[in-house]
Amino acid sequence: MGWFNKKKKAARLEKQMEQQKVKMLQNIATITRLAKSGLIFIDVKEHKVVISTTLSTLFLSDRQKWMNFLNNVQMWFVYKASQLAWNKIFLDAEVKAVREARKKYPLLTKLQEADIRMKARGAINVDAVPTPNIEPYDFILSTDIKDGSEPEIFAVGRYENGEFDMVTFEEVNQKANPNV
């Protein structure tokens, strides 16, 4: 009877893991759609996010919603960093394999090169690839961009380790210009 329960528990855990993966991919796809629609602008290299008022008002009404949104943006950053790392690893392995093959056979066809590249991708040890570091990011809340006008910044913040710090533009302006 114990063996059956262990098997059932393992199947249940596997199903939960699969559901978590699907949910994570749905969240990443949602952030990507928001970026394509212009409601959020993400600078991957600088780890900065500009969030429009239209989008921020949906989440700022409730702290938990806001935290979930910031967590999803963090997940998007990790996904992008992983994607960039994997692309580099694949490209390096493919280039190395094609170069070695050209040393032996200088007149490779495009089809042969493609086959060599696919075999090189298949030979990569998935477990040897390190996961990217989870880095903090800065976010800016701004007004929506309308017909080429400059957006107005009304809050800035930083998200790090599941916590965020945020100040409004008025607070920053008051500290910068105390006499005004």
Spatial contact of 156 and 167, defined as CB atoms under 8 Å apart: yes
Query: Higher confidence at residue 9 or residue 169?
Result: 9
Q: Computed from CA positions of residues 38, 44, 50, 56, in that sequence, does the dihedral angle turn out positive or negative?
A: positive
The helix (run of H) or strand (run of E) holding residue 40 is strand 40-43
The helix (run of H) or strand (run of E) holding residue 41 is strand 40-43
Confidence (pTM): 0.74
Q: What is the DSSP string of 135-171?
A: --EEEEEEPPP-TTPPPPEEEEEEEETTEEEEEEHHH
Average pLDDT (116-138) is: 86
Mean pLDDT of the chain: 85
Question: In degrees rounded to 5, what are phi and psi of residue 129?
Answer: -80, 120
Q: What DSSP designation does 60 have?
A: T
CA distances from 128 to 80, 83, 135 (A): 19, 15, 21
pLDDT at 178 over 80: no
pLDDT at 28: 92
Q: Which of 61, 49, 31, 75 is nearest to 157 (CA)?
A: 49
From the CB of residue 63, how many other CB atoms can be counted at a distance below 10 Å?
10
Helix 110-122 / helix 63-104 crossing angle, nearest 10 deg = 130
Spatial contact of 68 and 75, defined as CB atoms under 8 Å apart: no
pLDDT range class, residue 4, cuts 50, 70, 90: low
pLDDT at 173: 67
* Tens digit of each residue's pLDDT (9 = 90 or more) over 36-78: 988 898 988 889 998 988 888 888 888 888 889 999 999 999 8
pLDDT range class, residue 103, cuts 50, 70, 90: very high
pLDDT range class, residue 179, cuts 50, 70, 90: low
pLDDT at 1 over 60: no
